[in-house]
Amino acid sequence: MEVKIADFDIGQIANSGQCFRINKLDSQCWEVIAFGKRLIIKYIKGDNYIFDCSLEEYKTIWEDYFDVKRDYEKIKNEIIKTNDPYLIAAVKYGSGIRILKQDLWEVIVSFIISQRNNVPRIKNTITKLCAPYKNDFPSADILSKYEEADFKNIGLGYRAIYLKDISNLISAGKFDLEKLKKMEYQEALEYLKRFRGIGEKVANCIALFGLHKIEAFPIDIWIKHIIEKQYNGNFDIKRFESYAGIVQQYMFYYQRSL
């Protein structure tokens, strides 16, 4: 089916560091794997795309996944009004980025793996982790049966014990994903940081990309560099507190391109 989505660029979203199972097939086509589904998106022109799915599937899964109903043009205009040269450049460069509404468990696993890691290696590790399960992402019950060595064999290194621990806890009911989904932002951060392998940055990534708390502002090495070099170590996040995570994505994507 053909869809028209403003402020949407699947290539920019794929390279924005928020998701690791979107793959470029050719110059016009992308593969998106989420919620046990495989979607092919083909760019036509302007804001027009072909989504290889039914209208029902688009409405029940992908419209929400791509945050289609949020007015990103309004948010971009608010950022531009600040007259901040760096942010204006970042917004223009990454104008098609949207914050995906991903599966919470997949995000937790992905960002535990992401620690002190780069995007190609993260994607490769997640591809190996998911390989036996086709389009499905392995559940905590499945991963709880893995040994630490099994995780190391697919490239997790020291992160293996973190993933082993969190899988065991969720499988045993000692880490409640449904409870987490109902928490406010700060409460969710504190809850997440109780668990080994989840610090401030990873907790904020989970909040932003898994809980869709768009006020979350993960600070990784790229964002630290921006704050130090562009803002003399003092970036006022409060200017954007209701959509700070969207600002973070524009900054992250733009900085990696420079």
In the chain the domains, ranked by start, together with CATH numbers, are 2-93 (3.30.310.260), 104-209 (1.10.340.30)
What are the strands of the beta sheet with 2-4, ordered from one edge?
Answer: 2-4, 48-51, 37-45, 29-34, 22-24
Phi, psi of 11 (to 5 degrees): -65, -45
Task: Determine contact, residues 207/213, Cβ cutoff 8 Å.
Answer: yes
pLDDT digits (tens, 9 = 90+) for 218-243: 999 999 999 999 999 999 999 998 99
pLDDT digits (tens, 9 = 90+) for 41-92: 999 999 999 999 999 999 999 999 999 999 999 999 999 999 999 999 999 9
Whole-structure pTM value = 0.95
Closest CA to 207 of 199, 216, 198: 216
The pLDDT of residue 241: 86
| Residues 227/65/12/225 CA torsion (nearest 10 deg) | 10
| DSSP 8-class letter at 237 | G
Please determine, for residue 258, whether its predicted confidence score (pLDDT) is greater than 90. no
Q: How confident is the model at residue 176 (pLDDT cuts 50, 70, 90)?
A: very high
pLDDT digits (tens, 9 = 90+) for 180-207: 999 999 999 999 999 999 999 999 999 9
Task: Determine contact, residues 126/110, Cβ cutoff 8 Å.
Answer: yes
Residue range 138-143: mean pLDDT, rounded: 97
Please determine, for residue 139, whether its predicted confidence score (pLDDT) is greater than 90. yes
The pLDDT of residue 165: 96
Closest CA to 164 of 200, 128, 112, 204: 112
The pLDDT of residue 149: 96
**∠ CA(211), CA(216), CA(219), 5° rounding?**
120
Q: Which residue has the tokens 């099994």?
A: 150
Give CA separation, 47 vs 4, 23, 231, in Å: 5, 20, 34
The pLDDT of residue 184: 97
pLDDT digits (tens, 9 = 90+) for 1-34: 999 999 999 999 999 999 999 999 999 999 999 9
